[in-house]
Structure 1
Amino acid sequence: MIEAAPNPVTTVMRALADPTRRAVFERVFESKEISVAELTRGSGVTQGAISQHLKSLKQAGLVAERAEGRNVYYRAAPQGLEPLVTWMDHYGVFWRERFQNLRDLLKEIDP
């Protein structure tokens, strides 16, 4: 049986579900560019673990990398958040409509 590829929203949500990975993404996002060694320093996480988190973030389209000699530098790819933003916008409309309906109903009940 062939499994369908996960949709982009699921991929982004899975990537950001892990608190350590979210912290790595936030550090990359706050930096113009940052190396694995810089991310590892002071993180309390091994370099191998940081590399695995970066791999997941890269697969989700949330970071991009640039090699320079033996070093690899990472930068945030904010456009990778677009599937999540679109998904949240969709449900934002849903909830705004529901709250407006509730307001209207409450006004009818208690004029």
Structure 2
Amino acid sequence: MKRFLRATTVTILLFMAALGASSSPALASDLKSPTQGASLSWGFTSEKFANRPRHIAGYTIHAKLRMSERDIGEKEVNALVRFGPEGINQGDGTWKIMEADTPFAVVINGSGWVVTVHPVI
């Protein structure tokens, strides 16, 4: 199994390199939330409640590797991002999206890049 995963990892990396795909967003500023909200009356900022992206702009290599290791497909991730709940704003420009009936969570940044996918424990 380890050989298969290693071969799959190498294949993915080579394929992405051949396409000229980036393993991460082009700019570091893409990782930051574009919303800078004003303070609300009860002490929270509107940034905490800012809408997350409902589309996928791309996958980091880390996300692709984790999806491969955990046998999670792009269709499943796309469905959760498009139709799932608002998610939890983690305060660093990313949202963690998970549902009760889905065995995994997706972390997506403000630019729509899937950062990682991990099992829900």
Normalising by structure 1, we get a TM-score of: 0.26
Which structure has greater helix proportion? 1
Which structure has greater strand proportion? 2
Q: Rg bigger for which structure?
A: 1
